[in-house]
Chains A and B, each alone.
Chain A
Amino acid sequence: MQGILHEELSVSDPSSDFMKDYQTLARQSWEAFTRQLQPPAATNPFAPPAFAGSGNDTLERTLSGLKGYFDWMQGVAAGSSGTPAPAADWQQQLRQLFAGATPSFTQAFAGIDTAGAEGFAQQWQSWMQAAQRSGLGDVPATQGPMPAFGLNREQQMQQQAMSVAVFESLQASARYQALIQRANAQGMERLQDKLAEHAEPGRQVDSLKALYDLWVDSAEEAYAEIALSDEFCEAYGEMVNTQMRVRQLQQQQTEQICQQLGVPTRKEVSSLGERLQALRREFRSGRTTSSDSHADEVMALRHELAALKRQMAAGPAATPAAKSSAPAKPSRSTSAARKAATKAVRKTSVPKNTAAAKPSRAPVRKSAAGKVATKVVRKTRASKTKPGPIATPRPSLRKRK
């Protein structure tokens, strides 16, 4: 990192003692900072070496944005002559201040180096190298698919499809990057406009941080305007779609190689997962239906038991009398119980291998634990409620009329 610093440190007036002092200070400060990034010396000489992905490398990557800011501050400080520029020259001065640092800021738009946003060009290069090593042959031209024939016809066609897909993807990526650059340029124009509003005593920008913040506001505004445009949205969609097409073709080729080597593939695992999830849905649906049915039976039997208890409680005389008399009309509950019991018997008598034995896939509203959800009609409740006011002073509450 120190090396980079030295290379990028461009000072407009090297003969100035002031700037020499500044350079020394900057170097020492940054070195002090980077020393903090170094992992501490191992106290145990037998300790294993540090993991390559940890320590200063991780922190350096994390703080790369700070480095950009730091470089920019240096550039601005070096470009500041100390003498206030004439009013007509300040725009020129501004361009000079940002000229050296602009690439750093451009990176802020697109320089996030994560696995999810891996630079596509690098990814493509590494893939092609791997493809060549694994025997997929040379990369065909990108002009479009050519006729192929013979034993390896399919592979040739796939390779050509891949080549076309990569070409299209790189084109889409370039279109996207062009829009990002346009946002960057428009951000600078907006900055000039904003600065023009500060050309009065008392409103002048007198610190690096204030200038930086103003630039961020300008750049974000310009970016947001472009990012919401139809042109950008189309370019964004095209970039994503073309990248996915390349990935998909990569996966297909990988699958083929894995199949030849007898290695289980992601497609197979995914397919198993899909079937498993479908089975889980069916199982849960069936279990819920079954528990609903059992709950109905239990409820019906409870009603029947309650009716019998009532008959018993009515006294011994009531029972013979009931026997001798004409059969009474069954109560609703007993009737329901019998119906349910009959239904249950019918259900259990159905052979398991028939279609009727399959659990229903219809959505079920009951709880997994088997508890019957009581249906409550409460649709008019809302209109009956008398909401009280909310005594919150600050936020604005708007009640629909």
Chain B
Amino acid sequence: MYTPLRIDPNKAVGDIAAFQRKLATGMGYLRTMREPEYANTPRELVYSEDKLKVWHFKGHGTPTSKTPLLIVYALVNTVWMTDLQADRSMVRNLLEQGEDVYLIDWGYPDGADRWLTLDDYINGYLDRCVDAVRQRHDLEAINLLGICQGGAFSLCYTALQPDKVRNLITMVTPVDFHTKDNMLSQWCRHMDVDLFVDTMGNIPAGLMNYVYLTLKPIRLNQQKYIGMVEILDNPVELENFLRMERWIFDSPDQAGEAFRQFIKDFYQGNKLLKGTLQIGDRPVDLGMVTQPVLNIFAEQDHLVPPDASRALGKRVGTTDYTELAFRGGHIGIYVSGRAQREVPPAIHQWLRARS
């Protein structure tokens, strides 16, 4: 039997020296680098209210799709994951497919937004954004693409306003919040959310990010940056890395009341799945979602486990329900090379078949 460890000290020292050289040289690059920009696909502001903005993206050609697609992103993190960089932009790829793309940018809540409720977000903001797009196109109903928490919002909205949604796409959207592999859900099960929000007010983005990092503490706090050293001498890859860092950590605070309701009703109560959810004073019944539904989830998602998304299939009222399983993680589904090739074309084809 052999020893499994066969580390040659000379080689080890060589590895350390190489690591340090890379680090020292790379820091020179790092100091000169500017904040990386997002893709910034050309866009036009078509609606705004408080801190919210609705953007209409401009592609190279005229959209072939007759029904616009409104992207509803989560409140956590910024919406620019959908338009991260030129060669990794879901928005840009959807435009190239011929979709007419709109996006809700929720903005950065501050103390003035402390009392915004889910009712304000879904029956208020989201409804008015949908109306703004409908009005621009003189349409009774538009297509919705809800992402993560935005997917849960879109499901609620579609159940409440079925006449305004023609087709619904959900991406990495949690529906069953009580799957055993959902770490976030397990952690907040014993939290006194009322005490938490009453004390904190708005929930700071830094605290949210801290919690996300502790889902995989060593991988996300250390191993990732050791990997970064390997690319410090590669300006393109380094810029991509820093852009992602910007997106991860430049994130908005959470409006206190909406956070309270989301944790209590969705994470703790699992009310969306149980059919006991109320937004404002109106019950949310997923059975009311009779539109065609495309449910896209990531098989290696550590934030929204696949089973949490798959649960939608048994709850929606539609007879036209399709699942798309993507081989990747919660972020890779937007920015990986494979995602660019697979996800936007799949969305477009699914929509085109239902136009």
Assuming the A-B contacts A26-B16, A379-B290, A395-B342, are A234 and B190 also in contact, with contact meaning beta carbons closer than 8 angstroms in the complex?
A: yes
Interface residues of A in 99-122 (CB under 8 A from B): 105, 108-112, 114-117
Task: Name the one of B1, B3, B221, B354 contacting A84, with C-beta atoms under 8 angstroms.
Answer: B3
A201 in the interface, Cβ–Cβ < 8 Å? yes
Say how far A362's CB is from chain B's closest CB, in angstroms: 8
Partner of B1, one of A87, A251, A397: A87
Q: Which of A123-131, A156-164, A313-321, A367-375 sits within the interface?
A: A367-375
Q: With A73-B19, A374-B140, A392-B345 as given contacts, are A238 and B222 in contact (CB-CB < 8 Å)?
A: no
Whether the Cβ atoms of B120 and A281 lie closer than 8 Å is yes
Beyond the given pairs A29-B17, A77-B13, A208-B15, 4 more chain A to chain B contacts, judged by CB atoms under 8 angstroms and listed by A's residue number, are A85-B5, A117-B207, A201-B2, A251-B199
Complex CA gap A25/B199 in Å reads 51
A349 within 8 A of B: no
A258 surroundings in chain B (CB, below 8 A): none
Measured CB to CB, the nearest residue on chain A to B288 is A379
| Tally of chain B residues near chain A (CB < 8 A) | 107
Would you give the 0/1 interface string for A2-42, flagging 1 where the beta carbon is closer than 8 Å to chain B?
Answer: 00000000000000001000100110011011011100000
In the complex, the answer to whether B7 meets A205 with C-beta atoms within 8 Å is: yes
B54 to chain A, nearest CB (A): 12
Contacts of A112 in B (CB 8 A): 210, 213-214, 217, 221
Q: Contact: A388 with B218, CB < 8 Å? A: no
Complex Cα–Cα for A381 and B223 (A): 50
A323, CB-defined interface residue at 8 Å: no
Q: Contact: A237 with B187, CB < 8 Å?
A: yes
**A116:B207 contact, CB within 8 angstroms:** yes
Question: A198: CB under 8 A from chain B?
Answer: yes
The smallest C-beta distance from B190 to any residue of chain A, in angstroms, reads 3
21 contacting pairs across A/B (C-beta < 8 A): A25-B16, A26-B16, A37-B27, A65-B221, A86-B3, A89-B3, A110-B217, A112-B213, A116-B208, A227-B215, A234-B190, A244-B195, A373-B131, A378-B163, A382-B292, A387-B322, A387-B354, A390-B346, A392-B342, A394-B342, A399-B323
Q: Is the CB of A108 within 8 A of B112?
A: no
Contact A66 B225 (CB under 8 A): yes
Kindly list chain A residues whose C-beta atoms are within 8 Å of the C-beta of B221.
65, 108, 111-112
Stretch at the interface among B57-65, B82-90, B313-321: B313-321
Shortest beta-carbon distance from B237 to chain A in Å: 17
A195 at the interface (CB under 8 A from B): yes
Which stretch (A217-225, A302-310, A330-338) binds chain B?
A: A217-225
A327 in the interface (beta carbon within 8 A) = no
**B residues 183-210 touching A (CB-CB < 8 Å):** 183, 186-192, 195-196, 198-201, 204, 206-210
A345 at the binding interface (Cβ < 8 Å): no
How far apart are B151's CB and chain A's nearest CB, in angstroms? Answer: 17
Q: Write the chain B residue with the least CB distance to A371.
A: B135
Is B124 located at the chain interface by the 8 A CB criterion? yes
Q: How far is the CA of A308 from the CA of B280 in the complex (A)?
A: 44
Q: Is the CB of B141 within 8 A of A93?
A: no
Residue A363 at the chain B interface, CB threshold 8 Å: yes
**In chain A, what residue has the closest Cβ to B207?**
A116
B1–A26 contact, CB under 8 A?
no
B243 at the interface (CB under 8 A from A): no
Q: In the complex where A108-B218, A373-B131 touch, is A395 in contact with B326 (Cβ < 8 A)?
A: yes
> Does A273 interact with chain B (Cβ within 8 Å)?
yes
A68 and B217 CA atoms in complex are apart in Å by 14
Smallest beta-carbon distance A85→chain B, Å:
5
Contact B115 A240 (CB under 8 A): no
